[in-house]
Amino acid sequence: MNPSLILCEQVGGVAMIRLNRPDERNALSRQMLQRLSENFKKLEDDDDLRAVILTAAGETAFCSGSDIGELAKLSESEAREASVRGQKLCDQIEAFPVPVIAAINGSAAGGGCELALACDLRIASSGATFTLPKTQPGIIPGYGVTQRLPREVGQARALEIMLTGKTLTADEAFKIGLVNRVVTPADLLPEAKSLASEISQLAPLAIRACLKAVRLGLDLSLEDGLALETELFAALFATEDVREGTRAFLEKRSPVFKGK
């Protein structure tokens, strides 16, 4: 197992995970999927963590997708296992307890686009592109994008992207709501770090509760979603952070949150 395939560093409450296979356009090998999952797992129980930035080495590719050389050799049963493995990783990212920000520095193709979609927020370099070309070699996306993309951009748009293999520019992705922001290549990481820092200043328990309400609520009826919101809202009033936050507001000062 090559640990350098995925790099992870943490400064304060913000961690940065970087795909590190630039010579292969950061294509997702089985080893990379495993290492990526291991890095997120290590960060899960860090109570001081406030946000994660997911990006990639190099300037031209965030991730070119699954390693086609590996895919070409799969049997039907092995393909099923590969799909489940990729879905579990994307589920792990989507369910991560703090916000995950994708900083997309180039092409996000196939599995790379699926990886970005699993993140909560997406910032794209102006040179970034998004495509799901897997129907061209005779297969479909297998890491969950057939379910996530329609939820993000609507069924008709999602089907057009998947059925045609159309490549979207960063500006096109922004227009349909696939990314939150588009910035210059030089501003990509500073912008992602600034957003992560902004989130880090807010009440961490409230941030986690907000993520839970939105993520779980998407699969609930409006009535059940509202009930979930009420429970999460009420539970926060048993925390020190709510007392500190309301007191600081009344005292016109900046709050000091402890995550308790």
Distance set, CA 13 to CA 49, 51, 198, 230 (Å)? 4, 7, 11, 28
Can you give the residue range of the structural domain that contains 34?
A: 3-200
- Angle (deg, nearest 10), helices 155-164 and 145-153: 130
**What is the rounded end-to-end Cα distance, in angstroms, of the chain?**
38
Last residue of a domain, one of 177, 200, 223: 200
For residue 57, being part of any structural domain is answered with: yes
Residues 222 and 96 in one domain: no
Q: How confident is the model at residue 138 (pLDDT cuts 50, 70, 90)?
A: confident
For residue 260, being part of any structural domain is answered with: no
Quick: pLDDT tens for 57-115. Answer: 988 899 988 777 777 788 889 888 988 999 999 999 999 999 999 999 999 998 899 99
Instruction: Examine the pLDDT at 1 and tell me if it is beyond 60.
Output: no
- Report how many domains make up the chain: 2
State how far the Cα of 194 lies from the Cα of 199, in Å rounded to an integer: 9
For residue 257, being part of any structural domain is answered with: no
State how far the Cα of 205 lies from the Cα of 98, in Å rounded to an integer: 9
Distance set, CA 146 to CA 17, 65, 102, 160, 228 (Å)? 25, 15, 19, 12, 26
Quick: pLDDT tens for 2-51. Answer: 668 999 999 989 999 999 998 889 988 889 999 999 999 999 989 899 99
Residues 216 and 172 in one domain: no
Quick: pLDDT tens for 176-233. Answer: 999 999 999 999 999 999 999 999 989 999 999 999 999 999 999 999 999 999 999 9
Q: How confident is the model at residue 134 (pLDDT cuts 50, 70, 90)?
A: low
The answer to whether 28 and 112 are in contact (CB under 8 A) is yes
Residues 141 and 76 in one domain: yes
Residues 14 and 99 in one domain: yes
Residues 182 and 217 in one domain: no
Residues 21 and 111 in one domain: yes
What's 145's domain CATH number?
3.90.226.10
Residues 53 and 168 in one domain: yes
3-state secondary structure at position 246: helix
What b/e sequence results for 90-115 when a residue is b if at least 16 CB atoms lie within 10 Å of its CB, and e otherwise?
bebbbebbbbbbbbbbbbbbbbbbbb
Distance set, CA 194 to CA 89, 152, 187, 198, 258 (Å)? 26, 24, 10, 6, 21
Residues 165 and 85 in one domain: yes
For residue 46, being part of any structural domain is answered with: yes
Residues 123 and 244 in one domain: no
